[in-house]
Structure 1
Amino acid sequence: MDIQKIRKDFPILSREVNGRPLVYLDNAATSQTPQQVIDSIVSYYHGYNANIHRGVHTLSQEATDAYEIAREKIQKHFNIAKSHEVIFTSGTTHSINLVANGFTSLLKEGDEILVSAMEHHSNIVPWQMLCERTGAVLKVIPMDHKGELEMDAFRALLSEQTRMVFCNHVSNALGTINPIEEIISAAHAVGAAVLIDGAQAAPHMKADLQELDVDFYTVSAHKMCGPTGVGILYGKEEWLTKLPPYQGGGEMIAEVTFEKTTYADLPHKFEAGTPNICGGIAFGTALDYLNEIGMEAIANYEDNLISYATEQLLAIEGLKIYGTADNKTSVISFNIEGIHPYDIGTILDKLGIAVRTGHHCAQPIMDFYKIPGTVRASFSFYNTEEEIDVLVEGVKKAKQMLA
């Protein structure tokens, strides 16, 4: 990987913040966008902006072709069996809510659903709402102080009442890579469906969804060098056929009368209204970009970055890292004893360093550690060891100023 060549693909990395070169370490919130993806957005609006699927004119056909080609790129990237198992959504939150809404008609009082203790709020709140609607019971898979799930406890929670299991592939707050293969297999053994939140994993590794045999998998494009406001829900055909539509409107219908409406086949059954056409096309371009670099090369490079950053940060007296799982990626969450994470983040911003502070939409994790939040530095393949050095010096300066 030629990192300097790669960095030139990202215009924003050349800007300054507060008079200093930008050091962007908030990739778990959103990744930056390469010029190739920006160009695809401009090309759409400049050359063939039109609504899709319903038009006979040339622009509509060109837009439809580009959008469906993007769906096929996603299918190939994640090794999905059928293109209609790819549902375009506005992102991971939309995808999870779609599934939660659909299961309202499939659950009854006393059914049990399991969620891990290290989930983003988007993979907690929809299931709580589902339980309120159905009378199902939400149970939590506990985690330990390393930031790893307690798998013996998970297996003990499984029963013939378990209907669904939800877990992130990678924790956005801790960087833990969860043993989803084991989770999927154990859940299927008791007849439960499994949804994996892949938002934090997809930028760093390529999930083979047929090999995983997962029932649902969610992804957001803006974590993968794509635009905001677009993502996908993968669902096995058998499950997507069982679930009712999430929204009603144009595109998701076969025939409408005032007496009765029939629904379109997959994937259109779940794609009501005009979609984010440009976003879907640009997502396909982003996947082209990542695959040209190579997901394995990205993973290896980022592993070296996380190792280097961990070593350098731990050399700072009083600094504690939260999330020390044996298998982790991309994220270092830390605090300095006696200093609020928000104050550290504010000083780092003055130095041109972008990190995230707070509970990272994972408040139960912070409650588990009895802390208000953390400073989170999250890395991508366009970051460098030199930027990590800048971060370390910035943290030292913040500590000196605030201690």
Structure 2
Amino acid sequence: MSAIPAPLIPSASVAQPAATPQTTSKMQHVASVLTDPAVMVSLVGLTGTLIASAMSAMSQREAKIMEKKQQEEQAEAEARAEAERRVAARRDPLLLAAIDLEERLVAIATRNVLAQSGKDSAVPPSLPDFHRLYTMFLLSAFLGYIQSIQDERVSLAVDAKYGQYDLRLRRNLQRHLGRIRYTLTKGKAPLRIPSGAQRAIGELMLTTSPSGDVRVISFTEFLERMRGQDVDGDGWSDDENNWLYIALLENIKRDLDALADAPQSAFRRVVYLQNDTVRLVQLLDPDRQLVGGDMKMLDISDYVSGKGDDDMASSSVDMNDEPIQTSTGHFAWPWQITPHLSTSGVDVVEVDKKAVAEVDVGPDGEEILPVETIDDDDDDAKASVDAMK
């Protein structure tokens, strides 16, 4: 038998739940409350209070953020000012010393100074000539400023965020100072000062002020040291406290005397050193704030008759060259490396020990390991350094 379908019930016949009197009363009460002006005012006030509280909290948070930012900016400004003060305290004296020395080197190379030596009737013949004394002072003071920087291991650079004094300046400064030391050591031209003697003279030019600051002695103090007690009447101090000082400077005085009547080629170290000081001034004063005028490098070709006469030719390399890592793992600047041909026919390099700066920085800012800078046969330099210990 087939199933009998269930009868269909019309939807209209389904009973809907009727609203009870209690439900209707609650809805009417809510409606009356929401439409009550007093309640509306209270709701608006409460909403405003909540919004004001939220805005106040945001304002306080923003104020704290702004205050913290201002404190950080003030601290950074103070740190920058202090860093620039420290930079100027060490940069400016070195810069001024380089400017003074460069002017004197030009005068020597053009024979404008040495030609006047010994012709000042106000200076007794038994005393050292003023022109030579002042030249010795300028060179010694310059070495003193270099030594003060390297003794303290103080960089003229500050953090990169404090402006132009960054790691690049530090690296370039050490490169220039190392090159100057090298120029004074390389070759056989007059005014050669071994590395040990450079350091000894630099240290002897330093003194400590009552405030504890290390400074380079003045020309007056320099003359006092030179004067001392002159027993044998040669114009040089015989004071036992100054004997080392005089001994180190005696070679400089002797070479200055020899340059008075020397051929043009004898001035090549003077010219190379003048070129180096010009580069240093350009590095320290790129905006020419302290340089009175244009400083031009003397042409070394005017002071050598041929390539074979220039035993300092390696000093003229490009200062933009990067350090090279040698077979020993040390870094050295290109002008410190002497190429030669090995027995196997392969080109190799060795570090010129007299050329490596006492403090140097590698291509990534790492300190270059120092190489012994005193000649094996330089007993005077060794004695000078030992006496300083």
**Superposition TM-score, scaled by structure 1 size:** 0.26
Structure with more helix by fraction = 2
Q: Select the structure with the greater relative contact order (CA < 8 A; seq sep ≥ 6).
A: 1
Structure with more strand by fraction = 1
Larger Rg: 2
